[in-house]
Amino acid sequence: LTLENQLRHAIGRGELYLNYQPKTDLRSGGVAGLEVLVRWKHPEHGSISPAEFIPIAEESGLVVPIGEWILRTAVAQRRAWSDAGVPDVPVAVNLSGKQFLGTDVVALVGAVLRESGLPPRLLELELTESISMDDPVRTADLMRQLRELGTTLSIDDFGTGYSSLSYLKRLPVDKLKVDRSFVLDVHQSAESLAMVKAIIAMAHTLRLEVIAEGVENDGQLAALRSAGCDQIQGDYFSKPLDADACAEYLRKHG
Ligand code: G
Ligand code: G
Ligand code: MN
Ligand code: NA
C-alpha cells in the first residue's frame, strides 16, 4: 500500500491530530497566538512528519479534505477553549497552495466561521511566500476576501522568495513570518542579522508585524529582540503541544 493510499484513510481512522505551538509577544512576554501543526500517527510506522506527507497530500489532492479537516478541527478547538475560559489568543492555520488557489477557500472559511460561531479575529491564516508569488493577482484578491471575513493573514517562510516591497505593499497582509533559515544563525552571522533587520524595517514601514520562527536559544532571542522583532515562535518558549498541554500553557502564560 502506498503512503498516499494510507493517507487517504488517515482522517477516517482518526490517525491525524493537531498540535499547537505558542507564539510569544516580545513586548508583553505573554502569548500572542498559536500555530496549528498537523501530525500523523501511523499505526505501523509511528509518527510521520507533515514535511513528508503534506507534499504527498498536495500532489494527490488529498490536501483539500485534509486541509478542511484541519481548519474545522482547529476552529472547533478554539471555540471549545473560549467556552471553557481559556485565554482568547488566535489560532493560525497553514493553508496549502492547492487549497488556496485550487478550491473556494473563501467559502470554506466563511462557512466554518459561521457554523462554529467563533469570532473571526481568533482565526489567522498562514500562506507561504511561494504560494503568494504563484499567482499574485488572485492571491491579493483572495486575501482581501478572507480579510473581509475578519481573519488575520500572515506570509509564512518570508525571505525565501523574491517578494518586492511594492508587491508586499499591495497585499492585504497583517504579518510576516521570517523564515527559520535566517533565524538559525541570526546570532552568529552578520548577513543573517542584516537580512532580518531589513525585513523588520520594511515590514514596520508597511505597518506589518514580524514574527520569527524556530527560535531555540538565548543568542537568537537577544539578536531578534535587538532587531525589533515583535513576536517569537520556537522551542525556546515552547515546542508544539497537544490540545490539553496547550490549554494548560495558555492558562499559565496567556
Ligand atoms: O510541524 P513541522 O515542522 O513538522 O512541519 C513541517 C512542515 O509541514 C512545515 O513546512 C509546515 O508548514 C507544514 N505543516 C505543518 N502543519 C501543517 C498544516 O496543518 N497544514 C499545512 N498545509 N502544512 C503544515
Ligand atoms: O513551515 P512552517 O513555518 O509552517 O512550520 C513551522 C515548523 O517549524 C513546524 O514544523 C514546527 O514543528 C517547526 N518548529 C517550530 N519551532 C521550532 C524550533 O524551535 N526548532 C525547529 N528546528 N523547528 C521548529
Ligand atoms: Mn506556518
Ligand atoms: Na514557516
- Report how far residue 154's alpha carbon sits from residue 151's, in angstroms, rounded to the nearest whole number: 10
Ligand 1, atom 7, lies closest to the CA of: 51
Could you give the ipTM of this predicted complex?
0.95
Looking at the DSSP assignment, which residues form a beta bridge with residue 6?
none
Q: According to the model, what pLDDT value does residue 218 have?
A: 98
φ, ψ at 116 (rounded to 5°): -85, -25
CA angle, residues 74, 77, 80, in degrees to nearest 5: 155
6 lines ligand 2 (CB under 6 A): no
Q: According to the model, what pLDDT value does residue 57 have?
A: 96
| Parallel, antiparallel or unpaired: strands 123-128 and 91-94 | parallel
DSSP label at residue 227: T
Q: According to the model, what pLDDT value does residue 238 have?
A: 98
Cβ neighbourhood burial of 91 (10 Å; 0-12, 13-18, 19+): buried
Alpha helices in the chain (DSSP H): 3-10, 50-60, 63-83, 97-102, 105-116, 129-134, 136-148, 165-170, 180-183, 190-205, 218-226, 243-253
- Report how far residue 50's alpha carbon sits from residue 48's, in angstroms, rounded to the nearest whole number: 7
Tally Cβ neighbours within 10 Å of residue 197.
17
22 lines ligand 2 (CB under 6 A): no
Containing domain of residue 215, as a range?
3-253
In sequence order, which residues have a C-beta less than 8 Å from that of residue 122 and are 6 or more positions away? 78, 82, 88, 89, 90, 91
User: What's 17's domain CATH number?
Assistant: 3.20.20.450
Which residues have CB less than 5 Å away from ligand 3 (the ion)?
Answer: 94, 126, 156
Ligand 2, atom 23, lies closest to the CA of: 214
159 lines ligand 2 (CB under 6 A): no
| DSSP secondary structure, 190-212, as one string | HHHHHHHHHHHHHHHHTT-EEEE
| DSSP secondary structure, 67-99, as one string | HHHHHHHHHHHHHHHHHTT---PPEEEEPPHHH
Q: What is the Å distance from ligand 1's center to 18 Cα?
A: 10
Question: How many separate domains does the chain show?
Answer: 1
Residue showing cell 493577482: 137
Q: According to the model, what pLDDT value does residue 191 have?
A: 94
pLDDT per residue rounded down to tens, the chain (254 residues):
799 999 999 999 999 999 999 999 999 999 999 999 999 999 999 999 999 999 999 999 999 999 999 999 999 999 999 999 999 999 999 999 999 999 999 999 999 999 999 999 999 999 999 888 888 899 999 999 999 999 999 999 998 888 877 888 889 999 999 999 999 999 999 999 999 999 999 999 999 999 999 999 999 999 999 999 999 999 999 999 999 999 999 999 98
